[in-house]
Amino acid sequence: MTFNNNAVIRGALYISDSQISTFALTVLHYRTAEQMKGEKRDIRKPRDIQRVVNTFFRGVKKDPLLSPFFADKTKEEWATFLPMMYSFWENVLFYSGGYFGNPMARHKEMHELRNFTPAHFEQWLHLFSESIDQLYTGPHAEMMKERARNIATVMQVKLAQ
């Protein structure tokens, strides 16, 4: 008489093929969920930019140096300002074409009233990069930080003119 070892072992343990596959799938699913919790991915879609912008402005509102610039914004103004910032960054990153403002002119006006110093810009960039790093990693995440640094540099040069 010949024995199939697998069948014997499974028989002894009362494990069927389908139980083994269910177990394997459960392990696989658990690993994937665990990995996704810990591993960051790149910025890929408008929703990702919205998360970065929301995180950044949550930080700005709590920041002693930057919050005064936004202190007089009403709830309604935030509700139009944030979508404008989403469009600005979507355009900067993905050339979506949905932003029609003039940030240089707007900041020049504000600078004349309130004086943006290098310390303000440094803190702005610090919070912005921190918000990106907290949520995402990859070429787009790097590009977003780099574009912010470049725009901030140009802005400071223009404000000084």
Question: Six-digit token pair at 52?
Answer: 């970065």
Does residue 88 sit in helix, strand or coil? Answer: helix
Cβ atoms of 56 and 128 within 8 Å: the answer is: yes
Site for ligand HEM in 100-129 (CB under 6 A): 101, 103, 106-107, 110, 116, 120-121, 124
* Binding flags for ligand HEM, 61-90, as an x/- string (CB under 6 A): -----x--xx----------x--x---x--
Q: How far is CA 33 from the centre of its chain?
A: 20
Told to check if 94 binds ligand HEM by CB under 6 A, we report no
Cβ atoms of 53 and 148 within 8 Å: the answer is: no
Residue numbers at the binding site for ligand HEM (CB under 6 A): 66, 69-70, 81, 84, 88, 101, 103, 106-107, 110, 116, 120-121, 124, 148, 151-152, 155
